[in-house]
Every structure is written in C-alpha cells, then in structure tokens.
Amino acid sequence: MSAGRVARYALLIALALVLSYVELLVPLSVVVPGVKLGLPNLVIVFALYRLGARDAWIISLVRVVLVSVMFSNAFAMMYSICGTVLSLTLMSLLIKTGRFSTVGVSVAGGVAHNIGQILCAMLLLSTSRIAYYLPVLLVSGTLAGVLIGIASGLLVERVKTDPQR
C-alpha cells in the first residue's frame, strides 16, 4: 500500500471521527432517541464516489470501531456495524448502476442504516416489538440523507482525487 493511500485513509478516518464527535455534541437523541444527523456519512459518501467501495468500506468500518471504543460500548458497535454493512452494501450497488444522485444514494444509505440497526436490535433483544420505532427512524434517515447527500454532492464535484496515489 502506498504512503499516499495510507495518508488518505488516515485523513478521512480522522475527519469521520471528528464529525462523529461533533454529532455527539448535537443533542438530537434527547428529543428523539436514536436520531443522529449522520455527519460522518459525508466522508463515506465522498469516499464511495471518489475512492471506490473498497476504500469506503475500510474507512467506515475503522471509524465505527474507533467511535465505539472511544465514545460508546459494544452494543452500540453491533448496532452500528449492522447498519453500516447494510447501508454500504446498498449505496455501493446504487452507485454501480449510475442511475442515482448523491442525494438518492445518501437517502438510501440513511434508511438502510436505520433498518440494519432495527434488525440488529430485534435479534439482540429477541423481539419484533422494536419495529414500531422504524417509521420515526425512516423519516429521520430520509431527512438526514437528503442533507448529507446535498453536502456530499458538493464535495464530490469540487474535490478531485487520484485513487491510484
């Protein structure tokens, strides 16, 4: 692996960590439990478009583990990994089609992330009753996805990268 690629990973992971911390400072979860802005997804959507799926997966999974170790716990990490895997899988597939804008990809990713978290909670808690909360998360995932998609689209247009370096 080239030094440039390692530096790019480090920079994007650090940026995603900072955005994760900033997200913790915004008390949306106090109003509606589990709702977040999805700020680190700016980095992930950017990485998907500019670096490719493999790099986005590495950056995202490293971020999830580090954020869980630094700011939360093992259960939060499981929820986040489940959401991340479903989200990144769907976003990667949508980008390959070439039919979706960054907003569409981001919205799909936000919604998929919330579905993945609910599925994980249903498995861990051995109950489907938690699914009642899905509509709230789908609305918040859609709204956050639109905002992150717009911002990511601007970044993708303005910041050019060379994935070979």
In degrees, to the nearest 5, what angle opens at C-alpha 103 toward C-alphas 98 and 107? 105
Whether 94 shows a pLDDT value over 80: the answer reads yes
Residue reference for tokens 């978290």 = 117
Domains and CATH numbers, the chain: 3-158 (1.10.1760.20)
Listed residue (112, 115, 145) closest to 130, CA to CA: 115
How far is CA 153 from each of CA 14, 61, 66, rounded to the nearest angstrom? 20, 22, 26
Q: How confident is the model at residue 24 (pLDDT cuts 50, 70, 90)?
A: confident
Model's pTM, two decimal places?
A: 0.90
Of all residues in the chain, the percent with pLDDT exceeding 90 is 76
Q: Which amino acid is at 136?
A: V
Start-end of H helices in the chain: 3-25, 28-31, 41-50, 53-71, 74-97, 102-125, 134-158
Q: Kindly report the CA angle at 145 between 49 and 114, in degrees rounded to 5?
A: 105
Q: What is the pLDDT of residue 127?
A: 93
- The residue type of 98 is G
Token output for 52: 């490719």
**Mean pLDDT, rounded, for 86-104:** 97
